Amino acid sequence: MNHRDQLVAACDHQLRAGQFKDYTINGLQVEGREEVRRVMTGVTACQALLDEAVAWQADMVLVHHGYFWKNEPVAITGMKQKRIKTLMAHDMSLLAYHLPLDAHAELGNNAELARRLGWKVEGCLDGELGEGLLWSGRLVTPQPLAALAEQLSQTLQRQALVVEAPLAGPVERIAWCTGGAQDMITAAHEAGAQVFVSGEISERTTHLARELGIHYIAAGHHATERYGVQALGDWLASQFDVEHRFVDIDNPA
């Protein structure tokens, strides 16, 4: 039997979850049945994903964005009550990993984004590779900014938003951090990157990019963070006798 706690312990160990100071609980957030045969993964534990899990008769839901975020209301009411009630009514566990899944050197969101785009990883600018969140590297072949943005748009199936800086010539040196990491643009510039890729953009990001002299590409928070949880789910299925299914709930953000 695949025991719930065995799967949780394996994920905790693989992602070194206890080493991260995060904004939420990493690991088991809602406890379901002990035996696990089916694991459904998704980016966010929204109601639509939970409904898919119920229909598929999943035993565990594994996500990047779970519940219990710092500074959110503690009371389990309204939308939160409905989500947690769905999990408990069907005896499904919820397992969530935030920063540990961004950072992991092989299964993480940053690693998977680089792999799918063919970027050469050279290191991490805010810690050891596998522990830090701001990654750096090079394109295999220097290319115009527009070509890089088009590659991102095609690969991620989401139109990238580009802020072009007064920087001539093709780009080669790149830095990236998936999700809502737009404010890392200054650190990326200081490290010598010609372009910084993340998920979201703020009003201030445009001015920072133009005045610092570094191109910025906002490729989508959801779009850049689809792949780590899929890789983790596949890894879990390779270690245990469980069936894994990823469901992509559409999100244009």
- Residues 211, 221: Cα–Cα separation, whole Å: 24
Residue 138 CB-half CA count within 13 A: 6
Residue 156 has pLDDT above 90, yes or no: yes
DSSP string, 198-225: ES---HHHHHHHHHHT-EEEE--HHHHT
The predicted model gives 21-36 an average pLDDT of 97
CB burial class (10 A; 0-12, 13-18, 19+) of residue 209? buried
The predicted model gives 79-89 an average pLDDT of 98
- Residues 174, 214: Cα–Cα separation, whole Å: 10
Give the pLDDT of residue 233.
98
> Quick one: pLDDT band at residue 178, thresholds 50, 70, 90?
very high
- Residues 199, 20: Cα–Cα separation, whole Å: 21
| pTM of the entire predicted model | 0.96
Q: Which residues contact 45 (CB under 8 A, 6 or more apart)?
A: 61, 63, 65, 66, 67, 83, 94, 96
Q: In the chain, pLDDT over 70 holds for what percent of residues?
A: 100
For residue range 106-125, list pLDDT tens digits in order: 999 999 999 999 999 999 99
Residue 102 has pLDDT above 90, yes or no: yes
The predicted model gives 12-41 an average pLDDT of 97
Tell which residue, 33, 23, 44, has the closest CA to residue 253.
44
Q: Which residues contact 26 (CB under 8 A, 6 or more apart)?
A: 12, 15, 17, 18, 20, 96, 97, 98, 99, 100
Give the pLDDT of residue 1.
83
- Residues 60, 49: Cα–Cα separation, whole Å: 12
Q: Which residues contact 170 (CB under 8 A, 6 or more apart)?
A: 142, 143, 144, 145
